[in-house]
Homo-oligomer: A and B are copies of this chain.
Amino acid sequence: MARKLFPTPTDCETAFYDALERADLKLMMAVWADEAAIVCIHPQGPRLAGMTAIRESFADLFSHGPNGTVQVSELRNQLSQTLAIHNVYETFLVKNNPAANNAPPILATNVYLLTPNGWRMTLHHASVAPRGTVAEEQGVTRILH
């Protein structure tokens, strides 16, 4: 597969969640920077560092194929010339499994680095948010779930 080029951090983030929805390992690994320092923390998981450990974790996650959709919301971001930090809520909707759709949302911090090949992900840190979580956004407090 030709290497993907992501002209903005948001393009890279869109590809990350597309890959997650499609269980597309090639696209997922094209999202990540080819750097030893990359870090991935799945919800309730340990810290995975480096391409090999991260690839293995997604290969395992994707082994049963696409499983539903993920909705990304409540973006808060910070940007410098070469680094971007996004913090978002992820809401998973699992196919044919209404029970799983009662799961709490996930909070994710995503870091993107401007490389010679465009923006790439260098860190994904996800954790389970409490059910009924409150998002304070621009002074407005509202219940997400």
Q: What is the copy number of this chain in the assembly?
A: 2
Whether the pair B136, A37 counts as a contact (CB closer than 8 A) is no
Known A-B contacts A83-B85, A87-B123; A78 and B111 likewise in contact (beta carbons under 8 Å): yes
Known A-B contacts A80-B83, A85-B83, A87-B39; A125 and B122 likewise in contact (beta carbons under 8 Å): no
In the complex, which of the residues B43, B49, B76, B123 contacts A135, with contact meaning CB atoms closer than 8 Å? B49
Q: Kindly list chain B residues whose C-beta atoms are within 8 Å of the C-beta of A83.
A: 78, 80, 83, 85
A89 to B46 Cα, complex, angstroms = 10
0 or 1 for each of A37-50: is its CB under 8 Å from B? (1 = yes): 10101011111111
A31 to B139 Cα, complex, angstroms = 21
